[in-house]
Amino acid sequence: MPKDSVKRRGPFRPKAKPIKRETPRGREVQQASDLEDVGGQREISSGESQKLQKVMAQLGLGSRRRMEELIAEGGVRVNGEVATIGQRVRTNDVIEVGRKKITFVPDVKIPRVILYHKLEGEIVSHNDPKERATVFEKLPRIRNAKWLSVGRLDFNTGGLLIFTTSGELANRLMHPSFDVEREYSVRIFGDISEGQMKLLTTGLTLADGNGKFELIESIGGEGRNRWFRVVVKEGRNRFVRRMFESLGLQVSRLMRTRFGHVTLPSQLKRGMHMELPGSEINVLLDWVGLSFGESNENIHSRARRSSRVRRKTESSLV
């Protein structure tokens, strides 16, 4: 077996002592006929059309709402003409976004999804004025799409990050109405009293509103360093750190280990990534209400070939 390969256990395997499994709320499951934006099994004829903003989201250019805003601003052209919201595009139509040209070919069956084990000291941004290392430098290059981060981790936080080429999938995973759980391993310097533990789960007032942990439990530690398992349904900036800091507690290490049903595989080493196979992507899509039939064999084959994890090589910097 190559050195950079792993025999992977599915990231959907539950962790020890799982809390109550949550189900996305606030959205109805779409019918199969509505799922072209993430690539259904239904064949699309050369004369059939789709809404422009849906196609752009499918191509990984952003959420559908953001695409609508971009179209309204006049930043999108179709076959050389300024596009309008609700405009429909057909196979081989040329979509222009700024200087980027994309030919619409509706042959994508499912979006791509990769897991990345973020290092501390990396930022989740395409560009940084300070020229710090970014997580996007470690991801495989793709054409006619871009990797979208499902949520962020701050500069000093490591652990699980999910990336996808589907703006619709990313938007649903991040939308507050779904109450998606995030699980962290947190190292605290010092002791936490029972009263403080209770306050963290019943609610505290932060600068940007109230907040609470869904769960906090001790998982060991030595000396003054104590480790805790924390589960939240919040995506606010530095939320976990600020909750502890509001009680005068110092977080010395923070790592995300789960996002929704996706856990950080133990074999996925820091600074490495893996691509999910089609079967696991379908589980994720079904969970957020974008389920459809199994992908075709070509997609499965590509996913199997791409499921290896690897460090970024010098050649990828060119």
Q: Which residues are catalytic?
A: 154
Rounded distance, CA 241 to CA 153, Å? 12
Alpha helix segments (H runs only) across 246-296? 278-287
Query: Exposed, middle or buried by CB within 10 Å (0-12, 13-18, 19+), for 210?
Result: exposed
DSSP 173: H
Give me the sign of the Cα torsion angle 280, 284, 290, 291.
Answer: positive
Q: Tell me the C-alpha to C-alpha distance, in Å, between residue 81 and each of 43, 96, 101, 294.
A: 28, 9, 13, 37
Residue 118 near residue 135 (C-beta atoms within 8 A): yes
DSSP 80: T
Residue 186 near residue 251 (C-beta atoms within 8 A): yes
Give the number of residues written for the chain. 318
Count of CB atoms situated within 10 Å of the CB of 1: 7
Rounded distance, CA 274 to CA 264, Å? 11
Rounded distance, CA 68 to CA 153, Å? 27
Token pair of 267, please? 């074999």
Q: 3-class DSSP state for residue 220?
A: strand
